[in-house]
Amino acid sequence: MKKLIQYIGIAILLSISVIACNLEKEVEIVLPAYERQYVVECYLEPGKPFNLLLTKSSSYFDSISLDPAKYLKDLLADSAKVTITHNGVVHELKETLYIDPTTNKLGNYASQDLVPADYTNEFVLKIVTKEGKLINGVTKILPIVKIDSIAVEYQDTFARVLTYLTDSKLTEDYYRRVLNEGSLDSLPRQDFANDDKLYDTELVAYGTGYNYVKGDTIFNTIFHMTKDYFDFFRTINIAKASNGNIIAQPSTITSNVSGSANPIGIFTGLSYDRKMTIIK
């Protein structure tokens, strides 16, 4: 009887598989008209040069060049005038293709000036595009919320990593947690943001499963985000996740840059603490 039930079950699954062939296919559609927009990504990291990436979005079905140089030329927005003002000092970011040697991240507007570790005063962004349109943004750099400690706990030969920090109950805070394995270039194992309303206590712990063995290297990064950055990050992820997902609702991207250029993007301070742990 058991065998019969197993065979019937396999027969049902096979039948469904056969009937369900070709339920996916490519189709021709016409999307709503789209006008290219400027996209700003500017992260102010104290002690590092001012650096900004200014690109242009495209219509979804716009043709794409397979030549990397041509691809970048179409992607990167040129001939803009970019300044960041802080405490009355105007820092001009010149058009330069800049690659951070430690992070391998791109920028196309940079300055030799270093971002000051000022957690009080505002930074004001102003971009005048080559068409003469404006992009504006304002931000502050939040104080770093330091990782209190890292604990490694073992179960048999496997280990998990707990990351502790202290969240102030006096302020409304937003955090982003990124966990990389092996190197910072690797695809993050964890990358999510949350507000502090979830936390039951001031001492907060982020954890992993018992996934690691001796010799594994873990990079724990905790970003202390502004609300603007939190909203931008969240809506980017929602937009990504909702493509083809019937239970998700798409979203426009919440930006903190504005102006006559109708830009999308984020201008924010980058405050983070990072610890490297080698499983022993």
Question: Of 17, 47, 69, 171, which lies in the binding site for another protein, with binding defined by CB under 8 A?
Answer: 69
Tell me if 157 contacts another protein by CB under 8 A.
Answer: no
3-state secondary structure of 209: coil
Tell me if 243 contacts another protein by CB under 8 A.
Answer: yes
Tell me if 171 contacts another protein by CB under 8 A.
Answer: no
- Number of residues this chain uses to bind another protein (CB under 8 A): 95
Question: Of 46, 49, 57, 116, which lies in the binding site for another protein, with binding defined by CB under 8 A?
Answer: 57
**Rounded to the nearest whole angstrom, what is the least distance from the CB of residue 66 to another protein in the complex?**
6
Tell me if 109 contacts another protein by CB under 8 A.
Answer: no
Question: Of 141, 231, 267, 269, which lies in the binding site for another protein, with binding defined by CB under 8 A?
Answer: 231
For the beta carbon of residue 244, count every other beta carbon within 10 angstroms.
6
- Which residue from 116, 143, 127 is spatially nearest to 226, judged by alpha carbons? 143
Give the list of residues 6+ apart from residue 33 with CB closer than 8 angstroms, or none: 59
* Rounded distance between C-alpha atoms, residue 77 and residue 29, angstroms: 29
Tell me if 258 contacts another protein by CB under 8 A.
Answer: no
Tell me if 17 contacts another protein by CB under 8 A.
Answer: no
Tell me if 169 contacts another protein by CB under 8 A.
Answer: no
User: What would the x/- binding string for another protein be over residues 181 to 210, using CB under 8 A?
Assistant: ---x--xx--x--x--xxxxx---xxx-xx
Question: Of 58, 83, 262, 277, which lies in the binding site for another protein, with binding defined by CB under 8 A?
Answer: 58
Tell me if 105 contacts another protein by CB under 8 A.
Answer: yes
* Rounded distance between C-alpha atoms, residue 87 and residue 83, angstroms: 13
* Rounded distance between C-alpha atoms, residue 41 and residue 127, angstroms: 12
Tell me if 49 contacts another protein by CB under 8 A.
Answer: no
Calculate the CA 190 to chain-centre distance: 12
Tell me if 154 contacts another protein by CB under 8 A.
Answer: no
3-state secondary structure of 131: coil
Tell me if 79 contacts another protein by CB under 8 A.
Answer: no
- Which of the residues 210 through 229 are near another protein (CB under 8 A)? 210, 219, 221, 223
Give 19 or 89: the residue with its C-beta nearer to another protein: 19
Question: Of 26, 47, 120, 215, which lies in the binding site for another protein, with binding defined by CB under 8 A?
Answer: 26
Over the range 189-213, which residues count as b (16 or more CB within 10 Å of their CB) and which as e? eeeebbebeebeeeebebebeeebe
Give 22 or 89: the residue with its C-beta nearer to another protein: 22
Distances (CA, A) of 160 to 27, 217, 222, 249, 264: 46, 12, 17, 34, 38
- Which residue from 35, 41, 185 is spatially nearest to 108, judged by alpha carbons? 41
